[in-house]
Amino acid sequence: QVQLVESGGGLVQPGDSLTLSCVLSGRSYDRMIMAWFRQADGQEREFVASIGWIGGGTIYADSVKGRFTIARDKASGTMYLQMSVLKPEDTAVYYCAASNSNSNLQSPSRYQYWGRGTQVTVSS
């Protein structure tokens, strides 16, 4: 089992920046792929970004490319999502997730472990 706990959400204004954190614990997750997903009210859960825990390779959704950065600190077992130039359409519950798979990583079904989520609201 891998446990994931998100933090850092909040209410911000358009154009602001915010950094989310996800602390990992439990069984060894060295060979896993970690990701951020988000789910807005009434919408399906959508892929935001992923990172390989060992190699650090990243993938981003087109909607966040150039504005969001995913990173991990292997020493502390923490993953981050640095968000900048936030827009109202970024409002959602943000989840961190971990996968044993290495294909089709933009699909939520490929992830075996999930955090409970943290709310991000972008509003003036």
Question: Which pLDDT value is given to residue 87?
Answer: 98
Q: Look at strands 113-114 and 10-12 and give their pairing.
A: unpaired
State yes or no: pLDDT of 28 exceeds 80.
Answer: no
Question: Which pLDDT value is given to residue 45?
Answer: 97
Instruction: Please report, rounded to a whole number, the percentage of residues in the chain having pLDDT higher than 90.
Output: 84
Q: What is the mean pLDDT of the chain?
A: 95
Question: Which pLDDT value is given to residue 26?
Answer: 86
What tens digit of pLDDT does each residue of 54-109 get?
888 999 999 999 999 999 999 999 999 999 999 999 999 999 999 998 888 999 99
Q: Give CA separation, 43 vs 19, 39, 54, 80, in Å.
A: 23, 6, 32, 23
Q: Quick one: tokens of 47?
A: 């892929």
